[in-house]
Amino acid sequence: MSKDSKEAKDPLVLSGRVFVTKSLTEILPSRALPSGKKVLQVGDLKLWSHFSQDAATAGAGIFRAAVYNGKKWCTFRLNRVAGEHSRYSSYDDRKRMLGPCIEDLAKLKGLTVCWIENSYGIYRFEPAEVAALTHKEPAVATLGKDQRGKGRGKRTGSGDRQLSLFGDDV
């Protein structure tokens, strides 16, 4: 593993600064990516559009994003945070969705992104209070000597879920 690949995997804190590149600079020239790396900050995001290759959906596509790690741009999971604003169905829709997509990204200022599945992303995007209120752990069952081996691979309890450890359907 090279030194650069290890650095790309360090968690990053988003700066809240969002820039656009390529054809998006025509729509929002004030957000154009500055030239020179000295102007960039760790956690800056850049956004560009990726058009569909299908002739039937000409003008349709998705926005793509990358996060700056201090040395280079690394892929960023935009669909996890900008969902409906990360896709567009026409050139006009692309113009309409660009502003809300940038707003969604700017609101992430101060959040930490982690390297998972070959890109940076925010993987728990719900407030912690909500998860704490809605999540219930299943009760842990202990098996006596005579019960070991019965129901192997399945764990049940009084919680809201059943867990199948070995892929068996419950």
| β-bridge mates for residue 87, sequence order | 62
Helix (H) or strand (E) holding 18: strand 18-20
Q: In this predicted model, what pLDDT tens digit does every residue of 8-48 receive, in sequence order?
A: 478 999 999 999 998 899 999 999 999 877 899 999 999 99
Q: How far apart are CA 57 and CA 45, in angstroms?
A: 27
Q: Is 5's pLDDT higher than 80?
A: no
Confidence of residue 170 (pLDDT cuts 50, 70, 90): very low
Element (H, E) at 97: helix 91-106
For the chain, what percent of residues have pLDDT higher than 90?
A: 38
pLDDT of residue 53: 65
- Other beta carbons within 10 Å of 7: 13
pLDDT in tens, 114-154: 988 888 988 654 444 444 333 444 445 444 555 444 444 44
* Residue pLDDT, tens place only, 83-110: 788 888 888 899 999 999 999 899 999 9
How deeply is 117 buried, as exposed, middle or buried, from its count of CB atoms within 10 A (0-12, 13-18, 19+)?
A: exposed
Phi then psi for 157, rounded to 5 degrees? -170, -165
CA gap 146, 47 in Å, rounded: 61
* Domain-wise residue ranges, the chain: 3-121, 139-170
